């Protein structure tokens, strides 16, 4: 497929390649026909329209940001207009306030609590309608998920479930406490691409890629 770009937009979305679900996100971007690449060092940020910080272990990723010396690079790129999407651990890293912990990047005015549902054994799946993202319910996968407990006035709530916020955004930041990359749903990756000023090459608006399998991402791990 040929990538179509909105005028003057940089060409690619990067996935932070330090720890966590990197290849799963790359697989979804590839299915949408969006140019994508792994990001690990300062030079990798050239011409990025957006950056995905994947789920994983937030304290581990925070330490690696300092070890690899790219925390400041991310902040500078964001100031220049790069959009950022944090999933699960990524959302924790982007929050201005983390309950009982020191925040990391602090780029979206919200409060978040780590491991709010309990241990790994308390992971679960669900589905919900997010009207701004898709016209039909999308699958949600929660793995040792955090809860967003409060957002500032400049933050728009995309999805609230019971007493917590599961997805939110401001002008430049998108956060989800669940893992869209672990399902066949492309809706949120399409939504983020459009937020970045990129037009997916595929005109299909279906939420679910019927050719996706839970092991689809492994081909990218073998290649890279």
Q: Which of 23, 24, 28, 88 is labelled catalytic? A: 88
Query: Which tokens sit at 222?
Result: 């073998």
Any catalytic annotation for residue 36?
A: no
Q: Which of 23, 28, 36, 179 is catalytic?
A: 179
- Output the furthest CA–CA distance in the chain (Å, rounded): 47
Quick one: CA dihedral 149, 159, 185, 4, positive or negative? Answer: negative
Catalytic residue among 181, 185, 196, 207: 181
Q: Phi and psi dihedrals of 100, rounded to 5?
A: 65, 15
Task: Find residue 87's DSSP bridge partners.
Answer: 176
Question: Would you call 8 helix, strand, or coil by DSSP?
Answer: coil
The SS3 of residue 71 is: helix
Please give the helix or strand (H or E) that residue 187 lies within, else none: helix 187-195
Q: Is 181 annotated in the active site?
A: yes
Distances (CA, A) of 134 to 160, 167, 186, 206: 15, 13, 10, 9
Strands 124-128 and 138-142: antiparallel
- List active site positions: 88, 179, 181
């Amino acid at each position: 497929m040929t990538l179509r770009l909105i005028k003057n937009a940089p060409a690619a979305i990067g996935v932070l390649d330090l720890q966590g679900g990197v290849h799963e996100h790359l697989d979804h971007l590839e299915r949408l026909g969006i140019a994508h690449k792994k990001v690990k060092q300062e030079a990798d940020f050239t011409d990025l329209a957006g950056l995905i910080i994947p789920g994983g272990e937030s304290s581990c990723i925070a330490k690696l940001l300092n070890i690899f010396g790219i925390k400041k690079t991310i902040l500078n790129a964001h100031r220049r207009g790069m959009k950022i999407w944090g999933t699960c651990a990524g959302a924790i890293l982007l929050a201005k306030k983390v309950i009982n912990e020191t925040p990391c990047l602090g780029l979206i005015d919200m409060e978040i609590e780590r491991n709010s549902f309990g241990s790994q054994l308390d992971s679960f799946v669900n589905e919900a309608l997010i009207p701004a993202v898709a016209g039909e319910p999308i699958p949600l996968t929660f793995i040792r998920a955090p809860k967003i407990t409060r957002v500032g006035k400049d933050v728009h709530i995309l999805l609230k479930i019971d007493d917590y916020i599961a997805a939110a955004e401001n002008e430049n930041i998108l956060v989800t406490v669940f893992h869209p990359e672990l399902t066949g749903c492309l809706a949120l990756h399409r939504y983020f691409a459009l937020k970045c000023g990129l037009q997916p090459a595929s005109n299909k608006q279906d939420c679910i890629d019927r050719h996706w399998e839970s092991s689809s991402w492994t081909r990218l791990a073998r290649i890279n």
